[in-house]
Amino acid sequence: MRVLVAMSGGVDSSVAAALVLDAGHEAVGATMKLWGGPSDTGCCSVSDVEDARRVAQQLGINHQVFNFSEDFESRVVGPYVAEHAAGRTPNPCIECNRHLKFDRFLERAVRLGFDAVATGHHARVERRGEGWCLRRGADEAKDQSYVLHMLGQPQLARVLLPVGGLTKSEVRLQAAHLGLRTAAKPDSQDVCFIPRRGGRKEFLAARTELHPGRIVDEEGRQIGELDAVELVTVGQRRGLSGAIGDRYVTAVDVEQGLVRVGPLAAARVERLVVQAPAWVDGEPGREEPLEVQMSAHGRPVAGRWLGGGEVALGEPVRPVAPGQSVVLYRGDCVVGGGLAAS
């Protein structure tokens, strides 16, 4: 089988390429050039491309670079800015997976005659009957199935996730055993297009207007002020001035310049509305018991799919920021997910 391996320059994708070769497949490495601006975080720097190229050389495989920067700007960066401007909380890594890694990259691979693509994500793809199941990764602390919840059967039939059955320490040991230059390279933790210097505030201020706002309590009384309403997210507690105390952000109204806060007991929710859901293998049955996860490494809670975009939770949880992904699981298999509504 001919496999195009998405090589980001990190240790996971490096070992993924090695495992594709070990499985007897023909492999070619490819790095996506996504972000054209300054970057000192994530996987978009010039040094990351060089690391990917050098690892491919070590493994004896060809390496290519695909320039998807225009798509990245229109599909990831632009919507990221627009969501903040609307008072929502985007997840750019999920949108990058949705539109770039498992759409444009996969489409390019098929057009070039490859049978499948491989990535270094910590999740597992397994055959189940006539279809495919997207399972959690073996390393619970590194599981990335949450950010892959949008993958359907056509994509899963052409996707290999070689490191999904390994722990992170096993991946590093494998890389060290092979002498790969990325064996000890730290994981990327931040949004790749947000520089550490200046951070999210400077990045957004250069692309959209930020507005000062007022912080009000559950009674509507002003208890603080803030420089930019667009930088606040529902569920936030730290980083706010004023007499916030133990309160959490319960609502963000950019148009009115208001951030509402309240005590956790009053802020907790037991039902969520999910917009634009995508299913791995069909919508779950109404009232079906499932597990619900509301952040990449958050604790899943018991829940039920009510249909019509509604999810009932088995216990009250902190408010979920509009725009964040809500992902449903059946055991350790992803059922699907969508975006939390406002």
Q: Which residues are catalytic?
A: 96, 192
Exposure of 142 in the CB half-sphere (CA atoms within 13 A): 20
For residue 191, report the phi and psi dihedrals to the nearest 5 degrees: -65, 125
206's tokens: 């250069």
Strand partners, 27: 3
Query: Distance (Å, rounded) from C-alpha 44 to C-alpha 66?
Result: 12
Cα–Cα distance, 307 to 68 (Å, whole number): 36
Q: Which two tokens stand for residue 106?
A: 């996969």
- Token pair 């892959």 is at which residue? 148
